[in-house]
Amino acid sequence: MQQSQSTVIPISLGGVKAFLIKGTYPILVDTGNPGSEQKIVDALARNGVAPQDLSLILITHSHIDHFGSAAAFKPQTAAKIAVHADDADALRDGVNQELHPTSFLGELFLKVIPQHKRFPGVQPDIIIEQQLDLADFGVQGTVIATPGHTSGSLSLFLASGEAIIGDLIMGGIFRSKVPHYPWFAADLDQVKQSIQVVLRRRPTIIHTSHGGPFSPETLAKTFNFSLA
């Protein structure tokens, strides 16, 4: 199949972003909080894409602000839903993967959100163990496991040089272009290792779900990592 160069289009869903990837066929990355499905449909329409055009819905990790609208949106499309094996049960059950604060802001946020509340879950069609080649879905790119934020966090790398890494890194609330570690992490050491994996792939631009995007040089300088 002849594939065109992919384009990443951020979709603002109020405090979090989903991403439309336009290749030979379009792909959607994440679905935002519950109730975001119409915003997604409207954003797709502005970019000439109908829900039924999508070939894949990739969930970067099973936190509610990333999969919350998947159950409501899926009936509008024939796209398959993909998630990492370690986050699949949380997606099915409609619960957040366990939230482990890494900072004062994370601890504060945890006091005001219902950690164990159930939301509409959805059955994944594709379970990713280590990586997924996106060629069959019309996009030149690869999805790989980048654990740390959750044990099943995923990142996507496109042949264009762009990367989408979910919540592996976040921008600040008031300074969205200043990167920092996520407020929550299953394993902060794994987060650091996964950031280095991302940088070793030498992306040209790194898209994050909160704040950003960031250049690899900015991340390397902020976190004192090597680009070699």
Q: What pLDDT was estimated at residue 218?
A: 95
**Overall domain count for the chain:** 1
Nearest to 106 by CA among 29, 54, 167: 167
**Is residue 215 within 8 Å of residue 221, measured between CB atoms?**
no
Q: Which structural domain, as residue segments, surrounds residue 205?
A: 7-223
| pTM attached to this predicted model | 0.94
188-200 and 216-223 helices cross at what angle (nearest 10)?
140
pLDDT for the residue numbered 4 = 53
Tell me the per-residue pLDDT of 101-151, one tens digit each, with 9 for 90 and over. Answer: 888 777 777 777 666 678 899 999 999 999 999 999 999 999 999 999 999
Beta carbons within 10 angstroms of residue 53's beta carbon: 15
In a domain, 1, yes or no: no
Find the length of the chain.
228
What is the dihedral sign for C-alpha 107, 175, 62, 96?
positive
Chain segment 198-228, per-residue pLDDT in tens: 999 999 999 999 999 999 999 999 999 888 6
Q: How sure is the predictor about 99, in pLDDT bands with cuts at 50, 70 and 90?
A: confident
Instruction: Give the helix, strand, coil percentages of the chain, each rounded to 5.
Output: 30, 25, 50
The answer to whether position 181 is within a domain reads yes
In CATH, what number is assigned to the domain containing residue 134? 3.60.15.10
Q: Do the domain assignments include residue 162?
A: yes
pLDDT digits (tens, 9 = 90+) for 149-203: 999 999 999 999 999 999 999 997 767 789 999 988 999 999 999 999 999 999 9
The reply to whether 2 falls in a domain is no
Tell me whether residue 167 is in a domain: yes
Distance CA(144)–CA(134), nearest Å, equals 11
Q: Is residue 17 part of a domain?
A: yes
- Report yes or no: 154 and 67 within 8 Å, Cβ to Cβ: no
Contact 178, 172 (CB under 8 A): yes
Residue 169 lies in a domain: yes
Instruction: Read off the pLDDT of each residue in 53-67 and give the average, rounded to a whole number.
Output: 97
Q: Are strands 56-58 and 26-29 parallel, antiparallel or unpaired?
A: parallel
Question: CA 164 to CA 143: how far, in whole Å?
Answer: 9
Inside any domain, residue 213: yes
Percent of the chain with pLDDT strictly greater than 70: 94
> In degrees rounded to 5, what are phi and psi of residue 53?
-80, -20
Query: Which of 156, 183, 200, 115 minimizes the C-alpha distance to 8?
Result: 156
Gap between the Cα atoms of 120 and 99, Å rounded: 18
